[in-house]
Amino acid sequence: MRMSEVAEMAGISIGSLYQYFPDKSAIIQTLARRYNAEGRKCIEAELSNVRDIDGFRDAFARLIDIYYGIFLAEPVIRDIWSATQADKALAELEIEESRANAELVAATLVRVRPNADLEQLTASAFLIMYLGEATMRLAISVGRAEGDRLVERYKRMVLEELCRVDLAQGDNSPSINPH
C-alpha cells in the first residue's frame, strides 16, 4: 500500500492524509485500535452476565465463534494483524490488547470462582488471548474446512485450560525443571 493510493481512495490530498497520518504505521495503528475497541466491547458484553463456570464456558465459546466469524467476514483484519507483526510498536499494541482482554477473562473467572488463583488465571488468559489472534490468522489462511477444525480444536483446548480445577484453587503441582 502506498500513501498516495490511500489518499486517492479516501478522496483527499496526500498533504491532508499526512496531516493526520504521518506514515502507514499510523494508519494501521488507528485501524487496529478501532478493531481492538470493538473486540473489547464484545468481550465485556459476553462476559458481563456470566454467573457460573458453565456460563463462562458458553460465553467464551461464543466469543471464539464470533471472533472467527469477524475474521472470515472482514479479511482486512488479517491484513491489519499481519502488518502489526512487522512493526515493533504495532506488535506491542497487540500484546497490550491481549493483556487487557486477558484481564477481563481472568476477572470473570475469579468472579465465578472466588478462590481462584488470579495470577495463574491471568497468565493462562494472556497466553490464550494472544494465541487466539494467531489461531484466527492461521484459520483464515488455510482452507475453510481445515480452518474450522483448527478453531474448534483451539476452543476445546482453551476452555479446558481456563476451566481447570487447579487454576481455580491454585496449582500446587511441582514445577518442571528443564535441566
Instruction: List the chain domain ranges.
Output: 12-169
Q: What is the pLDDT of residue 177?
A: 40
Q: What's the DSSP call for residue 173?
A: S
Domain spanning 12-169: CATH 1.10.357: yes
Q: In whole angstroms, what is the distance from residue 101 CA to residue 36 CA?
A: 9
Q: Are 82 and 89 in contact (CB under 8 A)?
A: no
Q: How confident is the model at residue 174 (pLDDT cuts 50, 70, 90)?
A: very low
Q: What is the pLDDT of residue 179?
A: 40
Q: In whole angstroms, what is the distance from residue 78 CA to residue 6 CA?
A: 18
- The residue with greater pLDDT, 179 or 12, is 12
* DSSP-assigned letters across all residues of 47-115: HTT--SHHHHHHHHHHHHHHHHHHHHH-THHHHHHHHHHHSHHHHHHHHHHHHHHHHHHHHHHHHH-TT
Q: What's the DSSP call for residue 142?
A: S
Average of per-residue pLDDT across 108-118: 89
pTM above threshold 0.85: no
User: Which range among 3-7, 67-71, 82-86, 92-96 shows the weakest confidence by mean pLDDT?
Assistant: 82-86
The amino acid present at 79, given as its one-letter code, is D
| Cell reading at 101 | 482482554
Chain-wide mean pLDDT for the chain? 85
